[in-house]
Structure 1
Amino acid sequence: MEAMLVEGLQFKRLDDIVALIVKLRFNCVRLTYPIYMFTRYANLTVQQSFQKLDLKEAITGITQNNPSILNMTIVEAYVAVVDSLIAHGIMVVSDNHVSQPGWCCGNDDGNGFFGDRYFDPQEWLQGLRLAAETLKNKSHVVAMSLRNELRGGHQKEDVWYQYMSEGAKLIHQINPNVLVVVSGLSYDTDLGFLKNRPMGFNLDNKLVFEIHLYSFSHNGRGWMSNPLNTFCASSNQGFEDRAGFLVRGQNSTPLFVSEFGIDQTGADESQNRFLNCFSTYLTENDFDWALWALQGSYYRRDGMINSQETYGVLDSNFTSAKKSNFLQKFELLQTKLQDPSSKQTTSFIMYYPLTGECVLTNEKNQLALGGCSRSYRWSHEKDGAPMRSIGSKLCLKAVGDGQPPILNEDCSSQQSAWKYATDAKLQLASTNKQGQALCLQSDPTSGLIVTKSCMCLNDAECREDPQSQWFKLVPSNAYSSSLSTNGRWIVEATTGQRVKLMCVNWPGHMQAMLIEGLHLRPLDNITASVAKLHFNCVRLTYSIHMFTRHANLTVQQSFENFDLNEAIAINNPSILNLTLVEA
């Protein structure tokens, strides 16, 4: 953007914002920059940049929260952000977003394609070279993206091949360890031309393509006006045709979905439908991705100071996520599902995109929704085959309309045969004894999954909203690995790869029976410091009596003897009413 500094530093300390990124379970940040930052403004300080834009209030906030940043040059500040991300274990994709600093994107903004007003190809290559040289010794800068969203009336495929090839090879020459990310045409929504003319090189297996998709990318109004099953299937197939094909076949290449997103306030139902649909495709293919965007507001955007970003995960003050259920919604998307080195048999997770949850079972062998890390695994050989619970002899059986399906040993009746009900492949259906198709559906009243008459069996004519019946079988051969031993080594149980424990001791066994320091700092800040110090493990101590004699004692009750409640109430108020075991 115009200020050429990551957003939010007037509200929060840089390390605190990065700690929030960790807390939200992102392992990577796509960190954007303009070419001119390196080629024209490299010696400009942050304070000078903000003064030029008359951002007095932001300067005051940065002075309070990040005083060391103000006197840095904007390039030094960019590196400082990289260093903070690296210190917290976050990977960085450095992305050239524009040349002239400012909001992206428009067809006629001069930043769109090679030869446009602000897009001189030679200055672009110079900027890429300077950026690559600046970052080449940063090991957690794992990728460099050549250019965001090429667009406009001057687009030509031959020119794309010429300059994208030149830029990719330049970065690889400077830093052969970094991935080089190449975007497509038409706002980076189209890589289809690569079907007929591949890039012709793979940079020693360092070449990655990127693609974008939003609800409005192709007929955005259709999410509300068209039959939803049909429109979702068409949208996902269109993405496959324009980009997804790159991950198929013998000559497959990685595809990075480097932008997608929605209004995080939840107010736009068409965007909600888009995300529910697209997440089934993303999880089924286990794509790498980057969500637009972190920031809840901008220093300045299109001349407006403190402009709000509804697509931002964080609120406008960079305090917390806008959506309280963000982690639930994105849990499966943030999970590694497929691993080419895994020796595990592929099974299926039953995913419910409407909430982001997955299917679990209760003590009565009934289905319910819950966290995807605890989800049941299923085998399902083909449409019409039984759905078997992995590790048991039980199969899923439909009982009747409005009734919860059950797990039992009947794996041969028609009620235990499951298939996708429509071409959209989003509704899992069996039949009752009378041959009626019954689809899985979440019942919010009971909290169980039941079978109900299938909606929208004739996709092309249906105007109902079938999302309560959307369940996707997501393939996975990657399991949360426990640890094992191999001779003298500690290893991952599933892969056999060595795990080196680099731990720090954190006492919780003292008289108060609570880990130390919570009267001084918020818990999340302390754990962020653990990560920043590059520990990958904590030896967390406890006393036996905490479990055998004091399990029902609250933290507040324990601490009353030490007159420490006031300090904990300031820094960790939610801890006080927990029992010691809960804490």
Structure 2
Amino acid sequence: MTELPCMPITCDSRISQIPTPTDISHQVQISSDETRIYLYKSMKICMHINVLYNLCLHHPVNRGSREMGKAMPALFLTLLFSFATLSHSLPLSTNSRWIVEEPAGDRVKFACVNWAAHLKPMLAEGLDKQPLSAIARHVALMGFNCVRLTWATFMFTRYSNLTVAQSFHNLGLKKAMAGLEKYNPDLLDLTVIDAQKAVIEELGAHGVMVVLDNQMTTPMWCCSDDDGNGFFGDKYFNPKEWLRGLAIVAKRYKDTSMVVAMSLRNELRGPRQNETEWYRYVRKGALTIHHANPNLLVLVSGLAYDTDFTFLKTKPLGLKLDKKLVYEAHRYSFTDSQSDLWLNQSVNQVCDMVITEVKNKTGFLATGSNPAPLFVSEFGVNQMGVNQADNLFLGCFLAYLAELDLDWALWALQGSYYLRQGSLDTEETYGMLTANWTQLRSPQFHQKLQLIQQKIQDPKSRKSENKIMYHPMSGRCVRVDRNETHASDCWGMSHWSHDGDGTPVKLVGTPWCLTALGDGLPVILTAECYSEESTWRLVSGSKFQMANKDENGTDLCLDYDPSYSSSVLTKKCICSADDDSNCLENPESQWFQLLSTNAL
């Protein structure tokens, strides 16, 4: 195999200037320092640098360009991910709580993004804004290894002969049609189901797996209790037609290896939902998919908008699918109308309450004596940063995903919709891409995904287990560099040991321990590991604040403010009392998590 060298490439480089290695099968990552892109492979860092995918979009060479394909250098869009082919063996299977490849059994972690394609036009969003190949490249460049691609049952049971052009014409989408003619003219004369296949094949060509999600029966925006699509037997949810649709889709992709999973149904809900019919139709649906395409993982959703599996504690599903069964769950700040809690109550206590609830209702599936894979197939926030409930929820939920090292899919990729709830060209503020699909909506948000895009736990790892220190608000990890302690990227982070409350936090492989100097001062490393300043305990309802006492007996907590400095400080603890329900200050700068890892 040809080795890909560590080579700096300026943002205005051209393909002709870059040597093109062949037969590269390792995942290629990128990083940058101001004006250069660095290539490195297999997660082995060539040098100490921070990741910034959006760099070249804002480089002076490219500023003002309107097209994604021109906004970044030819290398960045075309050359780089010719190297990044999927190295997993397909199909996938399960082993205990893990998704694994066959037959070796190595873990494959889903780090996915949702791409909506289930609305009235019945076409993956954004293809009027950019070429399909460019969007697929961006998915891979952002570090996502799979797409949860949504679809509506009627696409296959009633509209399979409808072309993309006819669909857009019928909806009066003239502007979007013009965009399709410009960027993806080859799709116009395809049927909507063949256009879906074209999207899947392009994603596969870029090493991106596909999870097909049956979002709705009727092509429309999801979801509400009374939309007629919520539960088996609702107005538009005929179980027989639903099963027929599942069979058609599963069989259609039997020979498409990059389609690795199918869901039974998104977010079962509404006044008619009940456990008896859930067991009945979930079993039928799962067997329908499995018989039509035994290669696929089968994703099972719970009740109450995919937030509740508690009924399985007393009555297991009892379905054997040759190690193909995966459960899926969703969570947002607004789940169960909880947005106001984040705004009006103690953030530490709300976070603890929410995560306790999540673990009780869905997370228990991935733990205990008989664990199963749990795929958090939807979570997300307004990436404009203007929704404070979302902002507070995000750090809390990232900590949960990292703690259990769950598979996940972010809502969403799309920066806009052709037509959503009667409005044309609607912007999606939860989307990774901007409304014109040319760049990241929020590079800062993208950076926060860096740790959870990696495997933290590996059931086949031979590495010893250590701890890494994670700061969920920023998505950064703590690293010691030249005896200084910084929050930095989550590649090559330092390893720590900690034996519980009242013990030191030691830098693995050294005699050094984390030590507080005082309020507002950077922590240091010393060999005095059992002084009050060097022993740490978890405080507050969230159990994310790590504290010790200064000479006056005041609790000082680790603190990191990315807008101030990269240094980790100690400051007076914020809202650290377990019973301090009236404290409304935001403590997230002091949230640190010691995560066990045998993979990083």
- Counting matched residue pairs gives 478
CA distance in 1: counterparts of 2:286 and 2:339, whole angstroms: 33
CA distance in 2: counterparts of 1:375 and 1:46, whole angstroms: 48
Task: List aligned pairs for 1:135-146, cutoff 5 A.
Answer: 135-146=253-264
**Residues 435-474 of structure 1 deviation map (CA, whole Å, 9 limit, x = unaligned):** 3321101255443111112111223232221111111112
CA distance in 1: counterparts of 2:389 and 2:433, whole angstroms: 21
Compute the displacement of 1:180 (Å). 0.2
Q: Which amino acid aligns with 1:269?
A: Q
Compute the displacement of 1:133 (Å). 0.6
SS in 1 for 2:443: coil
CA distance in 2: counterparts of 1:424 and 1:11, whole angstroms: 43
Match of 2:244 in 1: 126
Match of 1:170 in 2: 288
Task: List aligned pairs for 1:72-83, cutoff 5 A.
Answer: 72-83=190-201
CA distance in 1: counterparts of 2:589 and 2:266, whole angstroms: 36
Compute the displacement of 1:434 (Å). 4.1
Change over 3 Å in CA distance of 1:380–1:98 after alignment to 2: same
Match of 1:513 in 2: none
| From 211, 216, 230, the counterpart of 1:112 | 230
Match of 2:381 in 1: 262
| From 296, 303, 310, the counterpart of 1:185 | 303
In the alignment, does 2:505 pair up with 1:387? yes
Q: Which has the larger radius of gyration?
A: 1
Task: List aligned pairs for 1:352-367, cutoff 5 A.
Answer: 352-363=471-482, 365-367=483-485
In the alignment, does 2:548 pair up with 1:430? yes
Compute the displacement of 1:188 (Å). 0.9
In the alignment, does 2:215 pair up with 1:94? no
SS in 1 for 2:181: helix
Match of 1:228 in 2: 347
Compute the displacement of 1:126 (Å). 0.1
Match of 1:37 in 2: 155
| From 39, 47, 65, the counterpart of 2:165 | 47
CA distance in 2: counterparts of 1:424 and 1:96, whole angstroms: 36
Match of 1:413 in 2: 531
In the alignment, does 2:591 pair up with 1:464? no
Consecutive unaligned residues of structure 2, counting only runs of 5 or more, are: 1-118
Q: Which amino acid aligns with 1:167?
A: G
Compute the displacement of 1:3 (Å). 0.4
SS in 2 for 1:448: coil
In the alignment, does 2:597 pair up with 1:476? yes
SS in 1 for 2:328: strand
Q: Which amino acid aligns with 2:397?
A: F
CA distance in 2: counterparts of 1:357 and 1:39, whole angstroms: 46
CA distance in 2: counterparts of 1:463 and 1:3, whole angstroms: 45
CA distance in 2: counterparts of 1:7 and 1:345, whole angstroms: 44
Task: List aligned pairs for 1:259-338, cutoff 5 A.
Answer: 259-338=378-457
TM-score (norm 2): 0.78
Match of 2:143 in 1: 25
Match of 1:455 in 2: 574
Aligned CA RMSD, in angstroms, stands at: 1.2
SS in 2 for 1:221: helix
Compute the displacement of 1:331 (Å). 0.6
Match of 1:368 in 2: 486
Compute the displacement of 1:176 (Å). 1.5
TM-score (norm 1): 0.80
Task: List aligned pairs for 1:206-217, cutoff 5 A.
Answer: 206-217=324-335
Bigger RCO (CA 8 Å, 6+ sep): 2
Match of 1:252 in 2: 371
CA distance in 2: counterparts of 1:476 and 1:348, whole angstroms: 6
Q: What percent of counterpart residues are identical?
A: 48
Q: Which amino acid aligns with 1:277?
A: C
Match of 1:63 in 2: 181
CA distance in 1: counterparts of 2:127 and 2:565, whole angstroms: 45
Match of 1:574 in 2: none
Compute the displacement of 1:202 (Å). 3.5
**Contact 2:126 / 2:417 at 8 angstroms: preserved in 1?**
yes
Match of 1:14 in 2: 132
CA distance in 2: counterparts of 1:156 and 1:211, whole angstroms: 17
